[in-house]
Structure 1
Amino acid sequence: MVDDRDKEPSKGQERPSRPVTAAARRERRASARPAAGKESSAEDTKAARAKSTEDKAKPKAKAKSDSDAKPAAKTAPKKGEHKGRPTPTQDKSKDSRPGLFARLFRFLREVVAELRKVIWPTRKQMITYTAVVLVFVAFMVALIAGLDLALAQGVTALFG
């Protein structure tokens, strides 16, 4: 018998090995993507990443004039700043909480809605399940009664 694994694969069937680390996978994906209008290599990708890291580290210069600045409504609030208006949950007062009967009625409606989702067993399934439970309970009662009798006789024979 000839083993196919001993044969060398043809040049058309060669596949590059799968990258092991996440960084290698990212680099492979980046090199597989077509560059936007220019030829890109791994060094270019690393340089671009380093530049973006440097840009993030540098504090941004303030705008020279008010016309250059973006309107405050369109910029995202910075850490520690608030939007200037309360969120809807903060806007509602605590006095608008529904009363006891409204909450009880809502609870009962939700219970009925959940009960409608239940898949109820058929009559045949119910009889089968009940018979299984009764047989199991009878078996356990007989087992415990038998152990109780055996242990009682052993104790009376030993100490009696």
Structure 2
Amino acid sequence: MKPQEWYPQAVEDLGRTASSRTDFSFDHSMLVLASKLDDQDFDLRRVIAGIDGVSVHRFRFQSYGMYDPGMLAAIRQQYHAAGWQHVSVSHARDGGPGEAELWLHFEHNTIRNIAVLVAGANQVNFVSVSGSISPIDLMHLGGHFGIPRIQGGVAIAGPHNGVDQYPPQQPGY
């Protein structure tokens, strides 16, 4: 099994309970071809050069709270058991439903795979990226290939209060 093809069984279990789902994958050659559609986005082309594949799983549920939060806990446990590092969790600013999580899988000292889970009130999106990539590179992929745009930054542990925002937030946001 190729690295980008592995994801926790709990993701598949969650998808079985969805009212609708969309699953698709791009291998490296498909990503290169798609990146040529926007020949002005040099950051995107640079990032794609190191990516082996991208898989996206989008699950929609009929109404608020229709997915089992225990399945999200099972996803976390399966990543942990497979040796992935849980890097970040963020929750909705207004205290409402929703969270985003980031996991990294290392090969020696290099990030080899990244997985992002974005859960909302009635939807769950799961994105897996395989290849040589950094969390910052993931931001350049946002809005392309079915990967949601990263809004509000990614929480990164920092020396001041334990958490800094990247990218830094502009005044008024």
TM-score normalised by length of structure 1: 0.15
Which has a greater percent of strand? 2
Structure scoring higher RCO (CA < 8 A, sep ≥ 6) equals: 2
Query: Which structure has the larger Rg?
Result: 1
Which has a greater percent of helix? 1
